Amino acid sequence: MSYYIVIREKRESDTPVLNEIVKNGYLSTVNNSWINALFQEITFQLIILLAALLFICFGVPLYYSIVSVPIVLISLYCIIYSTIFMKSAQLIYEKRPLKCWIAESYEPYFFMKTPESCWYKIIEETDLVKEGIDQNGFQRKMIGTISVGQHSRRDDWAWLFRLVVDKRYRRKGVGLKLINTVQDWCRTNQFNAIELAIGECQDGCRELFNKAGFEVEQFYHKQLLGRLITLQMFQLRCEVRSTF
pLDDT at residue 228, rounded to an integer: 61
Q: In what order do the strands lie in the sheet with 193-199?
A: 121-124, 4-9, 99-107, 139-150, 157-165, 193-199, 230-239, 215-223
Residue 218 in domain: yes
Residue 202 belongs to some domain of the structure: yes
Within 46-112, strands assigned E span: 99-107
Amino acid 213: pLDDT? 94
Report the pLDDT value the prediction gives residue 157, as an integer from 0 to 100. Answer: 96
CATH for 146: 3.40.630.30
Q: What's the total number of domains in the chain?
A: 1
Cα angle for residues 64, 40, 220 (degrees, 5° grid) = 155
Count the Cβ atoms, other than its own, within 10 Å of residue 150: 14
Look at residue 180 in the predicted model and tell me its pLDDT.
97
Contact 174, 103 (CB under 8 A): yes
∠183-127-98 over CA atoms, to 5°? Answer: 35
**pLDDT lower than 70: segments of the chain:** 1, 62-63, 201, 203, 223-229, 242-244
Residue 105 forms part of a structural domain: yes
Please state, in angstroms and rounded to a whole number, the distance separating the CA atoms of residues 243 and 174. 26
- Domain-embedded: residue 74: no
State pTM to two decimals. 0.86
Q: Is there a domain that residue 141 lies in? A: yes
| 57 located within any domain | no
What is the pLDDT, as a whole number, of residue 193? Answer: 96
Residue 77, in any domain of the structure = no
User: What is the domain range of residue 228?
Assistant: 4-34+89-239
Q: Give the span between the Cα atoms of 47 and 40, in whole angstroms.
A: 12
pLDDT of residue 41: 79
Q: Does a structural domain hold residue 173? A: yes
Contacts of residue 1, Cβ cutoff 8 Å, sequence gap at least 6: 108
157 near 194, Cβ under 8 Å?
yes
